[in-house]
Amino acid sequence: MKRRDALANIVSIRGLIMLLPKMSKAKEMIFKNSSCKKHGKPKALVIYASEYGSTEGVARAIAKVLCDDGKSVELMRVQDVMSLDGYEHVIVGSPIQYDAWMDEAKEFVDKYEKQLSLIKVDYFFTCLTLSQKSDKARKQAQQYADGLMQINTHVVPRYIGQFAGVLDYSKFSFSFRILAHVMFAVLGVKEGDYREWSAIKEWSNKIKG
């Protein structure tokens, strides 16, 4: 067994990342809401939490597929949602941090539980576990998905998209970068953009119906 595999078995990405302190991690990021409004067309809302921007990119790609399909689509950060009135489909996404969605995404589901329980809802997440193509990684990602089902049992997503995300040290604050370098090096996750746009598009086509 390779040294890296052995290490990965002993200390999972899960265990190690849990060690990362909840410190200020991100350099300041700017997120842009956007929309393709079409009068009289079914309204969909794609919302996301994101610390470093990669999940925003995934959300944007999903919104584009729905827009190209003729829907009236709005894309916004989860913090910017004021109301769900009029939407017939809501897609919620977040990176996995410390084994779970970011708090703001979970809080959104709780806050709008009643409305979400009445309309089409899909979830997605990005994570670095899926940068590795092993059964172990797939099982771990499935555990993340199972965890999302428990956020609020009144809200039942039809599908949960599981996507590999991004590791970009330049986006981290200086102090967090040092720590993250150590953690991800031990896990054997190299810096890179692991998003698979064809898989994201395929999933978007699945949920557009």
Ligand X SMILES: Cc1cc2nc3c(=O)[nH]c(=O)nc-3n(C[C@H](O)[C@H](O)[C@H](O)COP(=O)(O)O)c2cc1C
Chain residues binding ligand X by CB under 6 A are 13-14, 17, 20, 25, 50-55, 95-99, 126-129, 165-167
Task: Decide whether 84 or 96 has the Cβ nearer to ligand X.
Answer: 96
CB of 41 to ligand X, least distance (A): 28
Task: Decide whether 151 or 167 has the Cβ nearer to ligand X.
Answer: 167
CB of 180 to ligand X, least distance (A): 7
CB of 114 to ligand X, least distance (A): 28
CB of 37 to ligand X, least distance (A): 25
Rounded Cα gap, residues 159 and 196, in angstroms = 18
Task: Decide whether 56 or 71 has the Cβ nearer to ligand X.
Answer: 56
Task: Decide whether 21 or 209 has the Cβ nearer to ligand X.
Answer: 21
Q: How far is CA 103 from CA 99, 106, 113, 169, 183, in A?
A: 11, 5, 15, 22, 22
Angle at 37 between CA 31 and CA 41, to 5 degrees: 135
β-strand pairing of 100-101 with 160-164? unpaired
Rounded Cα gap, residues 72 and 42, in angstroms = 6
Using CB atoms, what's the residue nearest to ligand X? Answer: 165
